[in-house]
Amino acid sequence: MRQFVKGNPDLCIGCRTCMIGCVVEHEGRRIFEIDPDGYDFNPKLHVVKTAKVSVPVQCKHCENPACMAACPVGCIKVINDAVVIDQKECIGCKSCMQACPFGVIDVISQVGTSQSDGSKRVVANKCDLCVGTGNGPACVRVCPTEALKLVSEEAMQESVQKKRVATAEAAKAIADAMAD
Amino acid sequence: MALKQVQTTCAYCGAGCQIMFTVDTATNKIVNAVPAMGRTNQGTLCLKGHYGWDFINDPQILTKRITSPMIRKGGKGSRLEEVSWDEAIQYVADNLTKIKKKYGPDSIMCTGSARGPGNEANYIMQKFTRACIGTNNVDHCARV
Amino acid sequence: MTMGVHEIEDAKLIFNFGYNGADSHPIVQRRIVRAKQKGATIICADPRVTECARIADVHMQLKGGTNIALVNAMCNVVYNEGLVDQKFIDEKTVDYDAFVEVIKKYTPEYAETICHVPAETIRKAARMYAKAPSAMILYGMGVCQFGQAVDVVKALGSLALMTGNYGKPASGIGPVRGQNNVQGACDMGALPNNYPGYQNVTKPEIQEKFEKAWGVKLSNKVGVPLTHVPQRVLEEKDPKKQLHAYYIFGEDPVQSDPDAEEVREALEKLDFVVVQDIFMNKTAEFADVILPGTSWNEHDGVYSCCDRGFQRIRKVLEPPKGVKLDWEIICEISTAMGYKMKYKNTEEIWNELIDLCPNFAGATYAKLEKYGNIQWPCRSKDDSDKGTVVLHQGKFANPDGKGKFYTADWRPPQELENEEYPLSLSTVREVGHYSVRTMTGNCRTLRNLEDEPGWIQMNPADCEKLGIKHGDLVKVVNKRGWCITRCNATERVAKGATYMTYQWWIGCCNELTIGSNLDPVSNTPEYKYCNCRVEKLDDQAKAWEYVNTEYKSIRERMGIKMVGKEAV
């Protein structure tokens, strides 16, 4: 079962530290040194604020990803058990963006890349669990209120097991009540 | 690369978070900032604590670091001209002395700073205002 | 604050009043979130649905400018329902009867007509607060930045007094102070009425002590508060009270003070303006002399955090060539004017000042090094005195040792909505930018997250009425000035009310804020209430061109050389 990062609206304070943390992790610490216009600011998660909720929203790393099925050039791949967009191969067709039921894919323009006519390349962008960095998801690390958690298979199984036990006990309670 | 670590207090709000900076002493540049274990922050930082330090290398995004004293030699509205520290200090001292003589010490107002400078600089500013100029006209932007 | 930040998470109940920790102090908000997770009850009084309001058990979404009516009504409920701590009142307080006389009138039903919070909600909150085993009040600028502010602080203090919520852990009343070292600037006597350590300038024995220490005759006349400066320059007729010179150190009043036009006029009229800062800013444009100081991370020293905690700041980097340490600059000017000041380092300055301030005397650099953080009072240099977490234990700081009850009748804000300017405007905070933004606006990623021309928060119903959408550029205007900003349509704000943050150069809300209505005691301006009108801009492309051109032009004035595509 694939891991994913989950935001907890009871803990989130809407500060968006996670969004910067994401960019810094993917662009590298060099961004604090280089020309301020020399990089793109494209977080792979977004803090959503409504009247009732503040929480970061990002890819769920589905087991059967709709984005992957929709991609006509096969540039969405599973790498180290994370669903990842290969932005080098992406043609920017927006199919994945439309296919994703959670609205967690957007298209971004990339600095320093260009097409044959000189215009900027536009590619799909989403959470990749910081795969390949060896540090785990940056958003989880930098959140000041621990509002983001990496949900592992074990944690999922544990939670499901707890619910199963609760359901079983409820079934017994109902049976007892009916016997009375 | 010669790295050293220095712990300090964040300058961005009253929470008083502790930050550990890693500095390359050869280039005099910050390499990294991570949360330290302070009483109030317990190893956490917000976005300003984590990512609010690259202004120090004067990237000139919004405004420019001032690195020389400047005087409007031609009076109000004239161009600011870079001068030596000796000239700037004497210019300020002469003008404040002149105004103090003409209108009295209570015609001069000074501010402390609730931001970067720190307690010692504030102490010195109020001491200067009270002991040298001779007025209690010292305040700061507490109410902002 | 009478308590420590670290205690917040152990509170049984937090009454959060006009304080938006999530945007102004995220790491304090973290403690509020943790308190909630540990089972604390949260009551929030705020005109907006802040992050704290969102997780609160009761949110009282009051109309701006009605704070004291709400607090009085809560006190009224506590009194009428017999929820008071009579033993605490009898033993530890004074002036209860006079206080009760004022609150009698403020029934929840009466308060509802003023502050628009349902009477039943006020009752519920008051009962929750009074019945909690211990309750902590946190308040912020939503209390302080009104013409009637100190009254509200005292009323909140009285609510805590009548329920005995002082002097025990995780109780009391905490103003959570905004800027990193606003507590420190007050501690150090950068105040017109106090020497360092809150020692009053009008007390002869205090004056004598400082005269002896500094070897010079001192004035016993209370000085001018900063917010009176424009009036003392522009309107004062008495020549003895007029200001002629202004030495501005580490501040940017043109950006941060209310009614920017008035501030600019005052700076233009002054005979002599000195600006000591690290970056060019809007105030420096009016300076006769600019003195470049060192930045945070380039000097040593001590800051005081919001809960009276002294902590060291350390030099992380070598400062650029050409700048000088702030205290050195001031010492050199003083010496040139005939009053010699010379110190080797900040520790020498610190040692001089702590010996003049009994409440700080024990907080030596050595102990700060050892313990990391010392909350004053810390009176003994002995290692065993590690400072004081909770104030007012046993007795209060008043001369008789008793807590003093006080409240007042509600006064409306000075400038109300009218036909021409039908909306209210309040200043608020942007989480990723600090103060006037010369530091954070020069930080790459913080600038990426939020940049010019900022936002005006408006209720979607108001937006619809004006035919504007989220993200549209709009003109915000009142009789003092105008600015262009973007519309943020959000249900988190009530109809009729708007909110802007104050650090933008283009979306500059202090062009509109009111400088003339100061609290009579604290002299704090009414940043949280003035009127305004929002206008739709039909030609959005032209409006964006204005924003971009104007922003570029100010940056050029600040010394930025345009490169690459910006130069075109």
Q: What is the per-residue pLDDT for C543?
A: 98
> Nearest C-alpha of chain A: how many angstroms from B11?
17
Partners of residue A16 in chain B, C-beta under 8 Å: 47
Partners of residue B61 in chain A, C-beta under 8 Å: 36
Q: What is the dihedral of CA C514, C520, C524, C530, to 10 degrees?
A: -30
**N-to-C CA span, chain A:** 43
Pick from C36, C42, C444, C568 the residue to mutate for testing the A interface (most A CBs within 10 Å): C444
Task: Assign residue C524 the CATH number of its domain.
Answer: 2.40.40.20
Q: Say whether both C91 and C228 belong to one domain.
A: no
Count of domains observed in chain C:
3
Residue in A with minimal Cα distance to B17:
A144
What is the amino acid identity at position C200? N
CA atoms within 13 A on the CB side of A87: 20
Q: What is the per-residue pLDDT for B94?
A: 98
Tell whether C555 lies on the interface with A, counting CB pairs under 8 A: no
Q: Is the pLDDT of residue B141 over 90?
A: no
Give me the CATH code for the B3-57 domain, please: 2.20.25.90
Cβ separation A53–C447 shorter than 8 A: no
Kindly state the DSSP code that residue B106 receives in the 8-state scheme: G
**Which residues, numbered 168 to 207 in chain C, qualify as contacts with chain B under a Cβ-Cβ cut-off of 8 Å?**
176-193, 195-196, 201
| Residue A119 banded pLDDT, cuts 50, 70, 90 | confident
Smallest Cβ distance to C223: which of B16, B131, B136?
Answer: B136
> For the residues B18-23, what does the mean pLDDT come to?
98
Residue ending a domain, among C122, C147, C176, is C176
- How far apart CA C423 and CA C534 sit, in angstroms, is 8
In terms of residue numbers, what domain contains C499? 423-558
Token couple for C219: 């004035």
> Nearest C-alpha of chain A: how many angstroms from C22?
6
Q: What is the per-residue pLDDT for B143?
A: 76
Task: Assign residue C331 the CATH number of its domain.
Answer: 3.40.50.740
Contacting chains of A (3 CB pairs or more, <8 Å) are: B, C
Partners of residue A10 in chain C, C-beta under 8 Å: 33, 36-37, 55
Q: Say whether both C166 and C81 belong to one domain.
A: yes
* DSSP string of B20-51, one letter each residue: EEEEETTTTEEEEEEE---TTTTT---HHHHH
Buried b / exposed e along C189-227 (16+ C-beta atoms within 10 A)? bbbbbbbbbebebeeeebbeebeeebeeebbeeebbbbb
Partners of residue A36 in chain B, C-beta under 8 Å: 59, 61
Q: Say whether both C315 and C463 belong to one domain.
A: no
Q: Percentage of chain A with pLDDT > 90?
A: 81
Cβ separation B118–C303 shorter than 8 A: yes
Contacting chains of C (3 CB pairs or more, <8 Å) are: A, B
Q: What is the per-residue pLDDT for C116?
A: 97
Partners of residue C560 in chain A, C-beta under 8 Å: none
Q: Say whether both C509 and C541 belong to one domain.
A: yes
Whether the Cβ atoms of residue C188 and residue C196 lie closer than 8 Å to each other? yes
Residue in A with minimal Cα distance to C430:
A15
Q: Say whether both C262 and C164 belong to one domain.
A: no
Contacting chains of B (3 CB pairs or more, <8 Å) are: A, C
Q: Percentage of chain B with pLDDT > 70?
A: 100
Q: What is the pLDDT of residues A128-172, one digit of tens each?
A: 999 988 889 999 999 999 999 999 989 889 999 999 999 999 999
Task: Indicate the average pLDDT of chain B.
Answer: 96
Domains and CATH numbers, chain A: 4-152 (3.30.70.20)
Q: Is residue C390 part of a domain?
A: no
Q: Say whether both C170 and C60 belong to one domain.
A: yes
Q: Say whether both C142 and C203 belong to one domain.
A: no
| Residue A110 banded pLDDT, cuts 50, 70, 90 | confident
Q: Say whether both C209 and C155 belong to one domain.
A: no
Q: What is the per-residue pLDDT for C564?
A: 66
Tell whether C445 lies on the interface with B, counting CB pairs under 8 A: yes
CA atoms within 13 A on the CB side of B99: 25
Burial class (CB in 10 A: 0-12, 13-18, 19+), B114: buried
> For the residues A99-123, what does the mean pLDDT come to?
89
Q: What is the pLDDT of residues A93-106, one digit of tens each?
A: 999 999 999 999 99
Cβ separation B46–C184 shorter than 8 A: no
Q: What is the per-residue pLDDT for A114?
A: 79
Please work out, in degrees rounded to the nearest 5, the angle formed at the alpha carbon of residue B35 by the alpha carbons of A6 and C354.
Answer: 140
Q: What is the per-residue pLDDT for C439?
A: 96
Pick from C42, C48, C428, C445 the residue to mutate for testing the A interface (most A CBs within 10 Å): C445
Q: Say whether both C369 and C516 belong to one domain.
A: no
- Using the structure block, give the residue that is written with the tokens 């006519």: A117
Residue ending a domain, among C126, C144, C176, is C176
Q: How many CB pairs under 8 A join A and C?
A: 63
Token couple for A13: 């304070």
Q: Is the pLDDT of residue A109 over 70?
A: yes
- Using the structure block, give the residue that is written with the tokens 């501005």: C248
For CATH 2.20.25.90, the residue range(s) in chain B are 3-57
Q: What is the per-residue pLDDT for C159?
A: 97
Kindly indicate whether the ipTM for this predicted assembly is greater than 0.95, answering yes or no.
yes
- Using the structure block, give the residue that is written with the tokens 């949110």: C59
Partners of residue B102 in chain C, C-beta under 8 Å: 244
Q: Say whether both C9 and C133 belong to one domain.
A: yes
Q: Say whether both C155 and C222 belong to one domain.
A: no
> Nearest C-alpha of chain B: how many angstroms from A72?
38
Cβ separation A20–B57 shorter than 8 A: no
Tell whether C26 lies on the interface with A, counting CB pairs under 8 A: yes
Q: What is the per-residue pLDDT for C398?
A: 82
Question: Which residues does chain C have with pLDDT short of 50?
Answer: none
Cβ separation B50–A17 shorter than 8 A: yes
**Which residues, numbered 448 to 467 in chain C, qualify as contacts with chain B under a Cβ-Cβ cut-off of 8 Å?**
449
Residue ending a domain, among C156, C176, C196, is C176
Q: What is the per-residue pLDDT for C567?
A: 67
Task: Indicate the average pLDDT of chain A.
Answer: 94
Tell whether C54 lies on the interface with A, counting CB pairs under 8 A: yes
Q: Is residue C402 part of a domain?
A: no
Tell whether C494 lies on the interface with A, counting CB pairs under 8 A: no
Smallest Cβ distance to B32: which of A15, A29, A36?
Answer: A29
- How far apart CA C324 and CA C389 sit, in angstroms, is 36
